[in-house]
Amino acid sequence: MFRGQRGPMKHYDAELHTRGESLYVDDVPEPSGMLHAVIYSSPIAHGRFDALQLDRALAADGVVDIITADDIPGENQVGPVVEDEPLLSEGELNFQGHPIAIVVAETHEDATHARGLIDAAFTEKEAVVTAREAHDRGDILGTPRTFAMGDVDDAFDDCDVVVEGRADCAGQEHLYLETQRARAVPTEGDRLRVYSSTQSPYAVQESAARVIGVAEHKVEVDVIRLGGAFGGKEDQATHWACMSALASELLDAPVQLVLHRVDDMKMTGKRHPYSADYKMGLDDDGNIVAYEVRHYQNAGAKTDLSLAVLERTLFHSTNAYYIPNVRAYAASCQTNIPPNTAFRGFGGPQGMFAIESALTDAAEELGISREEIQRNNLLDEGQSFPYGQRAERCRAQKTWDRADEAFDLDEMRANAEAFNEDHDDKKKGVAAMPVCFGISFTGTFLNQASALLHVYTDGSVSLSTGGVEMGQGVNSKLINIAARALGISTDRIKVETTNTTRIANMSPSAASATTDLNGGATILAAEELIGRFREMVAREMGIQDDENIEFDDEQVLYRGKETDWDWERVVEQAYLSRISLSAQAFYATPNIWFDKDDEEGRPFAYHVYGAAFFEVTVDTLRGTYDIEAARLAHDLGRTVNKLVDIGQIEGGLAQGIGWMTLEELAYGDDGELLSSALSTYKTPDGYFMPDELDVEWIEDENPEGPYGSKAVGEPPLMYGIGAYFAIRDAMRAFDADADFPFHAPLTPEKVLLQLHQSRLDDMLEAPVPDEESPESEVALAGE
Ligand code: LUZ
Ligand code: MOS
């Protein structure tokens, strides 16, 4: 049965956003007496502080208190997985920006001014900032993991071609528009309400209760919406919420903490930089026979979510390819930069960058195109991933072939070649990027959600779930799902704030799974209500076969025909008959498991597939480039809101391209983040994005998702990797032999230096002209 939807598919926040009426944490009117907090943090990357001098700051205008680790009534611990993360440092400092004290004042300006008056004695130790250096020293978090399949060592012996090399990809700043922030308000007794910009309200509740030393039920966390998150608030919103809660509890006053952009960039973790060593073996026909990779993850100073991110790198180390012999090793390396954390893709993109680098190397060695190797080795139905799961309803080849039919990769290649014949100052490049991304939290227990539905007697509906709206449109999709499940108009449905009192123990909104999990729970809650209504209507109508009653388009149908019952009458009658108009339901993704001892299982409910083709032009004199086209075929399932899904695809693509091309995080040798503002950190804008962005859909039913839909949040980010290889392809057209390292991001500066490296080297090696010699003056003057 198809239940129609009345009302348009749209992003239901669009009108509020456009009018500037959407509420974020600090838009809610201030409670009286609200105080403001600012964080004093470590100026050194590694060492200790002693003799903290607070007197001058405490005496400054407007200052109410300065809170340090000694003041914490509960436990000084916020590590989400491993307990290695004090909320405030007790002396040891592991990164620049490591929080030491909370300055609380009447205004944000007063607090910021007072922070500048704090001093301490610092003892510095050597800082380690790269993963490989940390790995060599044995500074490893958790235990390195290895996924293996087949027999790589034997397989390499039989290969016709074996390539070995190194691939490095950098981190990425989340750059959510709304910086980290929270507001805590005491209610009564030792109870608190915390408004937090978090993807994980329950993590905030849990940690705040622990830090303050109260039971979890004393802390209520409420989230209206986030101005972006991208993983940066999956776990790392907790700290700031705990700090405002702590200050609020100690001072018995509302306290708000809003990070300044520079503080946010310096104090919070980012996407993990990775360095990888790869070895790939192929036969003469371009079949990948064996792949070995060692991933070194730069975890930063604390464990945070790094071990889960590391695991996802392994899950995606072979991307959308079937390779019979694989050994993938990954180690999480502890360094002195802020703890790196979840970021859209969650380690997957780094795993894919390494294999895409390896197969590019192999293509050059074999003298065939990258896309030939890619297409040759795409996963097929039933083939196994290196972690035991088999590809089911595999669409790796289908999405590629759909993209090829629509956009003709050979023709793109031929056009580029023709152009390159005629041009030296500009070169065109082409690259394809297939993507296969697993959907489900890899921590199986996290794949659970609940929903609470209330129907009021006027027929309007209130829906609460654990889904956090962060701009991604989950509320819109939940409205579409609830409308369909109840057979009513979307206009009747309101999605409530995400609140720990209405929904307990919720998982973070993450892993692309928010709609699947919370939508799954919403359907179950709606079915519970509909079941009650169906029984009631059957009784009222005096019929036995209530299975023939349906709710569709605001009407009650019996044997497919309209009755004189509509939604409002049903609701009214249910109320009068004392039938509950509320339902709560719980959803847990079925049929997923993973055994970490064997490194095998079925961790994902399903995979999302797709393929993107890129066309770029590189200015070989300047190193600048233009990404002209991204043409892709994406595996969407039966979407419940296509506009929202398109938004996710375009946004993910932009973020992926940015990571691979422009966005460059610069750290000093002392661990200082040098790119700590938007003047020094460049992200893509509308002009930078491809002029031509074409999307083809594969809309096959997905039995594992709500109403046949598929998760969409993270997979499109990885298409962006194709932009890197398209630029590199253009560079190859300019210079077939130069050594171009696999080192992302491929900024225009790097393109320029790499294209002209040999000339630069020649110039640097040339004898220095004799200053006295008139000839050299002439030469210089003639430049
Ligand atoms: N978060 C998490 C994630 O805790 N586990 C995951 O598997 C995951 N995957 C993607 C993004 N966030
Ligand atoms: Mo995420 S990286 O799905 O918070």
pLDDT tens readout for residues 128-144:
999 999 999 999 999 99
Report residue 472 as tokens. Answer: 């991604």
Which amino acid is present at 750? Answer: K
- How remote is the C-alpha of 649 from its chain's centroid? 13
Structural element, H or E, at residue 448:
strand 448-455
Mutate to test the pocket of ligand 2, among 175, 200, 230 (most ligand atoms within 8 A of CB): 230
* CB distance 378 to 318 below 8 Å: no
Report residue 599 as tokens. Answer: 């490194």
Measure 442 CA to ligand 2 centroid, in angstroms. Answer: 12
Query: Strand pairing of 625-635 and 274-282?
Result: unpaired
**Helix, strand, or coil (residue 540):** helix
Q: Residue 5 pLDDT > 70, yes or no?
A: no
Structural element, H or E, at residue 281:
strand 274-282
**Does the C-beta of 199 come closer than 6 Å to ligand 2?**
yes
pLDDT interval class at 767 (50, 70, 90): confident
DSSP designation for 713:
S
- The pLDDT, as a whole number, for residue 124 is 97
- The pLDDT, as a whole number, for residue 215 is 98
pLDDT interval class at 770 (50, 70, 90): low
Measure 309 CA to ligand 1 centroid, in angstroms. Answer: 7
pLDDT interval class at 9 (50, 70, 90): confident
Interval 27-66: pLDDT, tens = 999 999 999 999 999 999 999 999 999 999 999 999 999 9
Interval 268-308: pLDDT, tens = 999 999 999 999 999 999 999 999 999 999 999 999 999 99
Residues 6+ apart with CB under 8 A from 778: none
The residue-averaged pLDDT of 474-486 equals 98
Weakest-pLDDT range from 32-46, 240-254, 437-451, 750-764: 750-764
**Does the C-beta of 605 come closer than 6 Å to ligand 1?**
no
The residue-averaged pLDDT of 436-456 equals 98
Q: Residue 542 pLDDT > 60, yes or no?
A: yes
Nearest CA to ligand 1 atom 8: 511
- The pLDDT, as a whole number, for residue 7 is 53
- Rounded-to-integer distance, Cα 162 and Cα 362, Å: 7
Q: Residue 2 pLDDT > 50, yes or no?
A: no
- The pLDDT, as a whole number, for residue 771 is 57
Nearest CA to ligand 1 atom 3: 511
- How remote is the C-alpha of 648 from its chain's centroid? 12
Weakest-pLDDT range from 374-383, 495-504, 751-760: 751-760
Interval 153-181: pLDDT, tens = 999 999 999 999 999 999 999 999 999 99
Catalytic residue among 714, 771, 772, 783: 714
Beta-sheet strands, E only, within 11-158: 35-41, 47-53, 63-67, 92-93, 99-105, 119-124, 140-149
Phi and psi, residue 773, nearest 5°:
-70, 125
pLDDT interval class at 760 (50, 70, 90): confident
- Position of tokens 């209530």? 546
Q: Residue 482 pLDDT > 70, yes or no?
A: yes
**Does the C-beta of 474 come closer than 6 Å to ligand 2?**
no
Report residue 351 as tokens. Answer: 């795993």
Interval 587-611: pLDDT, tens = 999 999 999 999 999 999 999 999 9
Beta-sheet strands, E only, within 638-768: 692-698, 742-744
Weakest-pLDDT range from 9-13, 90-94, 456-460, 624-628: 9-13
The mean predicted confidence, pLDDT, of the chain is 96
- The pLDDT, as a whole number, for residue 556 is 98
- How remote is the C-alpha of 349 from its chain's centroid? 10
What is the full DSSP assignment across 21-59?
----GGGSPPPTT-EEEEEEE-SSSSEEEEEEE-HHHHT
The residue-averaged pLDDT of 543-569 equals 97
Report residue 521 as tokens. Answer: 């729970």
Q: Residue 67 pLDDT > 60, yes or no?
A: yes
* CB distance 754 to 734 below 8 Å: no
- Rounded-to-integer distance, Cα 531 and Cα 416, Å: 60
Query: Strand pairing of 692-698 and 625-635?
Result: parallel
Q: Residue 3 pLDDT > 50, yes or no?
A: no
From the CB of residue 11, how many other CB atoms can be counted at a distance below 10 Å? 18
**Does the C-beta of 308 come closer than 6 Å to ligand 1?**
yes
pLDDT interval class at 782 (50, 70, 90): very low
Residues 6+ apart with CB under 8 A from 435: 319, 320, 352, 608, 609, 610, 611, 612, 715, 716, 718, 719
Provide the β-strand partners of residue 452.
Answer: 464, 584
DSSP-H helix ranges across 367-452:
370-376, 396-407, 409-422
Judged by its nearest atom, the ligand closest to the C-alpha of residue 237 is 2
**Does the C-beta of 443 come closer than 6 Å to ligand 1?**
yes
Structural element, H or E, at residue 255:
strand 255-258
Q: Is 714 a catalytic residue?
A: yes
